[in-house]
Structure 1
């Protein structure tokens, strides 16, 4: 009973089945489409499988309502194969054979070969073999992937995540058997034994219901697995919100199940209501036609009056009949035929011989014919009214025969009838009425069609007659000579009012005819609205399901994302607050809207000291213009970097290395800008000490040459002093004194230059001529170059002045030239070329120092500007005893970067080196 009920609910079961897989696809897309870590499951292909497979099952719903066709079968089969291919890809892309190797596409060979074997058995056989080859293989493979990931050690999964993944894998494993082994019936093993019909008989419910339930289990397990995995990325404070999301999802699942149950009831009620209305209409039609036949037979029953007519009765009392007697009888028969609307009225004697007939003058006259074998004659001879429907033996025309016994004029108890009077009526008018319908029949108790809306089906059967029944009909000649084959009706179920006709389910109603035992009107309705009504309500529920699912899953995804965003914001806030740098955020008006904790501590501020103030207001007077110009540049989209000395609230100073970066909106316009400031006070002090140490080392290297120069000056002074002392000539004394004065001035200039070079360099900048700085440095190094036989070449162009610290740049130039001296030691050719140029397009001054020294090894070029990197002495791996500590270029690099410039090196081992320094010429007074 239950199996029969569920069988007629296949459309809704397919709807449930398809919705389950579409729900699975939506889950995989909306929840698990997140940044996956290496080794985690890629859910894209499983989601695609869910959508495609669900759509394929929904097409089945349409087929049940509107009927099937060859192209629809081919389309469904193609979609089915495509869905299974997606599932195979899910397995392939989540199976790793080591070192990121995946399963080869040759894996498809097995399912393709197995599926192609079904071609021998037609489209149905191919459909079954596709489920064997692709269906079972793909789903079984996917289940193994899920189960293997559930127990994979890398990455390890929490216990509850493993449980959910195992539930999904276990349900997928069962689904492999439900979809891949239980197939539609086919004419080969095992499809002829293990199929959907066998399952229905044994389990009393369709296998599609099991498939849908398993898909729901898979989807729910995947969702909870996703929730558990997402929880791993949340901080503990977010788990409470995540629990709310879980409760919401469980409530959503309960509502979905309630929705399916409610939909089942609504669709079933609507279908049954329409079915009842249609069944009532069908029965009404059959009643009308049955009443019509009854009235036709009843009208023919008026012939009973003629059976008692003296003219008819007396004819059987005579020993011989004259032509006059026959004429009287014929006149009576003609009058009654016309009166009751019969086709033929005729009179037979007790032997069945026709004595008189109203069709006596036609080629198909009954006169002289014996019809003793007819049941209606036998019934009348038994003294009863006879009603019989048959095909005429003489006329070959169908008719309804009504017979009455005719007794003699002197009747005694127990006397048999003397004859039989018969009226034959035509059913042609009934056939005309039938033609207004597609399928309506007037059938005999055996199931033989006597009158039909399809004339070609007359004298065929609506059931499969047994050989015994056919033999009885052949003997009676009631419906001709046969063969009375079935028109194609199968599984005609009177209880449900359904019949299967060419694999399509039809509704029918039948109605017996009073007075005709076993005869009935059968009306088969090929235009039932039940399936369409069910399809309409299923479509409404489908749309509602999709809308609710989309909205709910969208809300669910937003809730999950909001929790993750909150967690990320808390995490990033913790990272920003824990940063050792000051991080500030300003709107495009330059007002501070955020500052981290370290930014407040750096300046000894309270939050209200920074929040709501503009960027310029936070700087002391000497730097307000600098800050204002920097804000203008960053709001124009240009990042700015500068270093400044800033007083703290407690009175101490802090040197800040400030970076301003623009923050753009979606339209590409600056909406905010960020300020990242680093406390470089200690770094600057360390750098100053390194610079001073480097200067002292350079001064030591210069001491010999300078002392020699100084001795020369002293000798000039002493010699001229002695000459002046010994000479009494005023003119000679004046000349010697002038020489002494010039020499003293030169000695003072040398001392001043050395003191300027070796003294502490304060960060005081001005616009200076780079050529003059280089020339002053060359004076210091003149004796060094002379002693080392170094040829100096200078090529100075007129260049703009540069805003810089002269002492710091002197340190850079001297360091590079002293390195060039060391690099050329011991070489036959020693040349140092210094060039000064101007790049107008880039507003830069370019200073290059090119030597003919030993060059720089390739492995050192990338780190030459790092601390403690040297090519001299033991630390540099050389044989020379000249010490090298590796701070010269490091200090030079830092000074150049402080001036917003750049320093590069070009060198090949054995071919010298070229150091180029670029310094901006644009106004930098407001950026220091």
Structure 2
């Protein structure tokens, strides 16, 4: 029965795990999709505005060109003498404007609306002789007002934008004719092609689409037209003979629209400033936006979900196997307990009493947290303290309410507490500080976390503090620091001992061995020349070994550090490092005072570790090392011109021996900083207070 229940529990847990993963994935997808929708809304508005501005600029620029054409002398002459040389000169001007503007046609109409000259005069659909007085652009221009008009050509059956301007024979008299430039809508639609993946529509005041980057939208209306609207459009012949069917687009109030097939779009509509009533509409397919998020998300999360399902199933299997074994063992234990219970019946009363007593004590322990918890208002008055507070500071909850820290603690403690409270309320942010609380028999160190409490309007009206006694931790840290100091001192002693052993014992052995090899070389020179040469080679190897042993001993504990001080010890080590690493080193020392051996050793080891890192990791060719005194501090800097560290590595420099360097600096009361160098490498700077150092030269 227990195993069946276990199976059910594990299956339920597996289902809940799968549902949790699925819900988390769905919530993530919804969040990403909503973010993408908001981004698409911004993009749609930007595309619509850019296209609207482009269309407005296009219309305004071409209208100025029509103005320039109407002001030419040749245009005025052809209206007064529409034949012979004046007609030829006007046709030349019209041809020039058409070619320069890449326009469909440029032409001139007289005051009756009849075309007298045109750049398409030789085409089958020539405008010459045709009367267009019914066109609004002629009517408006002949009355003296320049006009822009978008329509389907009656003769050419080609969509275009007509820019008309009145032509004056006498500036004080009415216009004698109209100059017209017709530009294909293809110029505008090419601008639409820069609008991304959305649908771009240019619609008239009644919502009829005249230009678009999607041909299937042309001459369709964005809204349902009344019969009166249809008749008016048909009479104007602006968009041909129709029909102008509704596109099925329903414009919703939340900035979206939906077409007849149910597809949703982000809807942006802006009026064309230079062509009143007309507007640019930008439709962005929301389903495409969603696919941009879902497709890569499913590609990534699909395998992850499968792997999770597999891992959950595998975990359930192992949990079931392990739980089954536990049930078997528990069953055996229960039987043993039943047997033991028979033997301990006479002790049950005593055991019940002990259990009750221990339960009571345990409940009391749970009711009293070791942390001090309190709440204050903005003026620093206590509104609540927990029992631990009253226990530690000898006041009752009712007595401390309404009082400030100055009423409860000595002034120096209360002042510090109040300053921390002001930081929380002024900054509206939690803080974590170490504070000293007065206690009987001395003071205790607490780690205090303070945070503001806000009202419904988001204004901090109070603060809460939770203080935990860390006095023992601080003492332990101090002990660890002393232990680390002792270990490092022991290491230095051990290094010095090993260095002496290498120099005094092993060095002497190698020297004696070298003398024996030299004797053997001289002894065998005549009797066995080959053996003599081998002995000579041994002498060279032994001399090299002696040099290496001396170098190792010196690097373990340089004698200069003990006898001459830090300045000369660093000078020797830097010259040795330069010779070994072939990295150019420049060493500056500026009257650095002599410091105690413990601090000098730490500074030497930090410089040694810094230069080792330069040789191993930096790829540098030049290192600057400086040692100087300033403002009561001894400063040591090591700066290279290597590849440097990334910003995140500078902030978290725990590798490359940095932990040891920081520990050595801390043990002598100094600080170690790591940052970028002036030449692009890394700069390490050690700062040691000289308060306990002597003033003798180092």
- Fold shared, TM-score > 0.5 on shorter chain: no
In the superposition, the TM-score normalised over structure 1's length comes to 0.31
Q: Compare CA radii of gyration and give the structure with the larger one.
A: 1
